[in-house]
Each structure stands twice: as structure tokens, then as C-alpha cells.
Amino acid sequence: MAVRTEPFVLNMGPVHPSTHGVFRMRVTLDGEVVVDIEPIFGYLHRGIEKLAEQRTYTGIIPLTDRLDYISSMSNNFAYCLAVEKLAGIKVPERAEYIRVIIAELQRVAALLIAVGAFLNDCGAFFTPFLYMFRERERIVDLFEMVSGQRLTYNYMRVGGVSQDLPDEFMPALRKFMNMMPRFMAEYDRLLVQNEILIARAKGVGILTGEQAINCSASGPVLRASGVKWDIRKADPYSIYDRFDFAIPTQTTGDCYDRYRQRVEETRQSLHIIRQAMEQIPSGPVRAELPQLIRPPAGEAYAHIEAPKGELGFYLVSDNSIAPYRCHIRPPSLINLTALRDMVRGWKIADLIIIFGSIDITVGEIDR
Amino acid sequence: MKFERYGIGIAKGLTVTIRHLFRHPTVSQYPEQRLNISRRFRGNELVWNKEKCTGCGTCAKTCPQGAIEIVTSTDMTENKYVVDKYQVDTGYCINCGLCIESCPYEALYFSHAFECARYRRSELVQSKDDMLETPERKVSGYFYPDKANKLPEQTLLVEKVTEKR
């Protein structure tokens, strides 16, 4: 006699340790196998795009800190680039280098968290996470030194950065850069050959390159599927065209590849920082600007390669002190659309891993 | 994966964790063991310089949260503004530091304090008498490099020995 079954709907989240914040998935299950999922978000909605319409151009920078709070510096960077494009502001040379160093350090910090959280979801309970947090702590120390805060940095300004680097920054950064390759080797020794991780992540949640392009995924998720697309190379912003770095790609696009992709990107970021440290000139760090910026009427879109993917800011100006419209293209939200393709047919335990491998921040999805 | 080689990766990983047993702890026990915070620390409170402030109100205009309230009146005998009320609601303050950056007379600073918990919301509102600089309320070096150099140097985790015990 055939057993009659029917689909079962399970609510995962909004307060679930594996959903990385307040995110909810309505999962339709057939036994243990995922048939369909429906992401539901909006639990962290703060209306940042609307709030931005009432603030001055400088006053929006603290808001951008609160988008993807894992990588605040990248958000500041993207926003400042958008305003500079809108108003045609030239940034001093030293400020460009500081921005690149800081943004790449931020990428290392954010990717460490991404990898750590992913391994946490895999069941390596907090051991690799804590090791990676220790290295992130060293980066956050440096950020605290330059900006005075540890999470919401609010460091970059339109036309440069808020203050010059303190004298003790460069020696500390050099120390960190000497330390970091050893720790990267340590992570590899800890995890690359680990049979449990390979069994759980290899071949799981495959996203082909075509699928990734179709859902306009970006960042490590896209590159792990074998598509060589990095905005730092494809549409160079700031001074990225002066540095020599490679775009690592993987082949299959499974969870293990996404993990490896993030580790490889960390290496490239360190490579960029090393070059920027050698080339950094002295000089002013901020362009001479009036306190209230009034860009000419028009629109501008600036995008950067944030740790999670393409982060874009679209600004419309009506020649007043506040933008007429501010739209944000968050990488987490767009990458999340690939989730349904990835999880269909996998078990619910794999859903956690696949979801963790996309690396989302809910602050950015809901805005 | 061959069956006989199974477990080598785990063993390799365990050597890393075992090696950590013999390293210095990176964590510090907070209330007893205190690290020096950044010289540019953006503290929870603001410090206001009574002498330098002219009552222009630039800080209140720049504040994205609208947390600063300033009321001035004109003093005809001395031909200047008198600050009648200067009040910051630290409950609304997001510590962005734009007020300090914008002050044209260098009259506003961040404090270097961070343990500023209060029992009531009304206690978070600071009047101008609460905001003066005292020996307990040190000034942070945010945007004031000369003040930063006087503060103790920040403890960095990169400086700490974490290799061998």
C-alpha cells in the first residue's frame, strides 16, 4: 500500500539562530526534502531610503553605516562615490589610497565573518568562528583607531575621509599584514581537508553560472559559479585600476566553492592592501567643500564591489541640500533570489548550509 | 575519497586547535582588566566649551538626529549671543560626530567615557551644566589631534603576544 503524503509548511525564523538576523523563510517540505521556499523579510525595515530624503548629503553617511553593519566602510565608500559622481567632486590622492586600504581591510573582516558564520552553520560550532573573529578584532582595532568606533564607523566623507590616519596606524597595519598570511594558512590547515566539511558542503546547493547571471547575483556567489565578474576590474572606480590583483573564480558553484572563493578573495585583498601601503602619498585627505553640499540637478549611480557583491547607490538631486531620491542596490537582497534555485531538492539540514553560504545581512535586505 | 585516508583532515585540524591550548588568551576579562580605548573614541557624551561657544547653532543644524537643542538671546551690552539653553538628548544621539566636525569655533568635543548607562530616560538629556569638561569627563581626541596625543595609547590586539605562553 502506498503511503499518502502531503507537503508540510514550516516557518523558519524570524528568530532562528541560522537565519543571520530577523529573516523568515516559509519552507514547503516533502518529508525532509525542500520542495519550495518563500523568503519573507521586512522585520528590520527602518525606511533608510525614505529617511535619506530628509537629511543632508553628509547626514546620510551615518545611515549607510546601518545598512550592512558587517561592512560599514564599504557602504560609506559607495555612497560617497555616488555623491561625488553627482556633484563632480575630485578626491585628493591620499584620501583615495586611505579609502582603498580601509575598504579592503573591511572586505577581509567581512569575509572572515562570512566564512566563520558559514562554518558555524555547517556544525563546526564556534571554533573556526572564534579564530576568525580574533583576526577581525585586529582589523576592528585599526578601524577604532582611525574612526573612533567599532561598528558604525562613519569615516568616509564626500570628497575624502573625515580625518587623516593617526601616526600609529601604519606600524600597526604593517604588523597585521605580517601576521595575516600565517593565520590564513592556519584556517586552511583547520578546514580545507576536513572530511566532515567536504561531505557536508561539496556538491551541495549548486548554482550554475547561467542561473547566477539570471538572478543577477554578484560577488563571491557569482564568482564561485565560475563567472569572472568583479566591478573592481569591470568598471574600475576610485583607483583600483592602479593595483595588480587577480579575480579568483571557482568551477562548480557549490557551498564548498563559495567558502573557498571567500578565502581566496581575502588573499587578493591583502595583496591590494600591500600595494597601497607602499604607494600611499602624503597630502590632504579631504577636498575643500562647503558644509552643505548642493549637487546640480540630475542623477547618478555609483557601484562598488562590496564584500557581498555589487553595492550601488542611485541618487537623484533637485539642487537642494537633500537628495530627491536615494535608492540602494543591496547585494544581499539580490543574491538571496538565487536561494530558491539552490535549495530545491535538498534536505532541510542542507538548507541551513546553503543559506549560510550566500552570506546575507538582514540590515541590508530590509533597509 | 579513499576510506583508509579518512580522518587525516580532521587530525590536521585538531593540531591547530590543540596548539591554541598553549597560546596566550586573546580575551581580556573586562571589568577587572581594562584595555585602553582609541584616542579618537567617540564616547557617549559630548563635552561643551562654555567660553568658546558663540551660539551659532551649526551643531544643531548638522545633527542628523535633531538631538541638540540650543536657545540663544542677544546681549546688547556686549554685542554677542548668550546661550540660554544647550541641551543634548544622548538617547537620540547616534555618536556620528558630525556636530564636532562642523563646529567652527572648536567648542564641542566627544567625551572619552563609555560607561554611561542611566536608569531613567530623562537622565539621558544633558543640560549645559552637565556637559562641561571636568577631570572625570575627559575629552576625546576626535578631530582634535593635539588632544589625542595627550591620551593613553590604544591597546591593540596586534601588539599582544598571542603565539607562545
Q: What is the pLDDT of residues B72-86, one digit of tens each?
A: 888 778 777 888 888
Cα–Cα distance list, A88 to A73, A92, A156 (Å): 21, 13, 17
Residue A162 grid coordinates = 573625515
For A185, the closest chain B residue by CA position comes to B16
Q: Which one of B3, B146, B157, B162 makes the best mutation probe of the A interface by having the most chain A beta carbons within 10 Å?
A: B157
Confidence at B2, pLDDT banded by 50, 70, 90: low
- Other CB atoms within a 10 A radius of the CB of residue A105 amount to 24
Q: Give the 3-state secondary structure percentages of chain A, helix then strand then coil, rounded to 5.
A: 50, 15, 35
CB contact under 8 A, B38 and A144: yes
Cβ proximity of A348 and A29 under 8 Å: yes
- Whether A188 and chain B come into contact, CB under 8 Å, resolves to no
- Whether A14 and chain B come into contact, CB under 8 Å, resolves to no
Cβ proximity of A58 and B97 under 8 Å: no
Confidence at B156, pLDDT banded by 50, 70, 90: confident
Angle, vertex CA A186, rays to CA A181 and CA A188, nearest 5: 95
Sorted by where each begins, the domain ranges of chain A are 8-366
Q: Which one of B4, B35, B92, B156 makes the best mutation probe of the A interface by having the most chain A beta carbons within 10 Å?
A: B156
Detail the DSSP E strand segments found in chain A. Answer: 8-12, 24-30, 33-40, 156-157, 160-161, 298-306, 309-317, 325-329
Residue at grid coordinates 588573499: A267
Determine the 3-state secondary structure of A30 from DSSP.
strand
Confidence at B112, pLDDT banded by 50, 70, 90: confident
Through-space distance between the first and last CA atoms of chain B, rounded to whole angstroms: 38
**Chain B residues touching residue A60 (CB < 8 angstroms):** 64
**Chain B residues touching residue A141 (CB < 8 angstroms):** 154, 156-158
Write the CATH number of the domain with boundaries A8-366. 1.10.645.10
Residue of A237, A248, A302, A238 lying closest to A270 (CA atoms): A248
- The complex's ipTM works out to 0.84
**Chain B residues touching residue A179 (CB < 8 angstroms):** 158
A 59-118 → B contacts, CB under 8 A: 59-63
CB contact under 8 A, B10 and A291: no
Residue of A51, A12, A329, A144 lying closest to B39 (CA atoms): A144
Of A134, A147, A196, the CB nearest to B26: A134
**Chain B residues touching residue A144 (CB < 8 angstroms):** 37-38, 40-41, 154
Cα–Cα distance list, A160 to A58, A91, A94, A164, A229 (Å): 12, 6, 9, 10, 27
Q: CA-based diameter of chain A, in Å?
A: 82
Residue of A85, A69, A134 lying closest to A304 (CA atoms): A85
Of B94, B98, B158, the CB nearest to A175: B158
CB contact under 8 A, A166 and B41: no
Q: How far apart, in whole angstroms, are the C-alpha atoms of residue A225 and residue A341? A: 13
Write the CATH number of the domain with boundaries B46-148. 3.30.70.3270
Of B9, B37, B143, the CB nearest to A194: B9
Of B38, B42, B143, the CB nearest to A145: B38
CB contact under 8 A, B1 and A198: yes
Between these two residues, A262 and B153, which has the higher pLDDT value?
A262
Residue of A180, A110, A100, A166 lying closest to A140 (CA atoms): A110
User: What are the pLDDT tens digits along chain A (367 aa)?
Assistant: 777 778 888 888 788 777 777 888 888 888 888 888 888 888 888 888 888 888 888 888 988 888 888 888 899 999 999 999 888 888 898 998 999 999 999 999 998 888 888 888 887 778 888 888 888 888 898 898 898 888 888 888 888 888 888 888 888 888 888 888 888 888 888 887 777 888 888 888 888 888 889 988 888 888 888 888 888 888 888 888 888 888 888 888 888 888 888 988 998 999 899 998 888 888 888 888 888 888 888 899 999 988 888 899 999 998 888 899 889 998 988 888 888 888 888 888 888 888 888 888 888 888 8
Please determine, for residue B130, whether its predicted confidence score (pLDDT) is greater than 50: yes
Of A144, A154, A163, the CB nearest to B96: A154
Sorted by where each begins, the domain ranges of chain B are 46-148
Rounded to the nearest 10°, the torsion over CA B144, B145, B146, B148 is 90
Confidence at B5, pLDDT banded by 50, 70, 90: low
Give the pLDDT of residue A135: 86
Give the pLDDT of residue B165: 44
**Chain A residues touching residue B164 (CB < 8 angstroms):** none
Q: How far apart, in whole angstroms, are the C-alpha atoms of residue A215 and residue A83? A: 28
Query: CA B97 from chain center: how many Å?
Result: 9
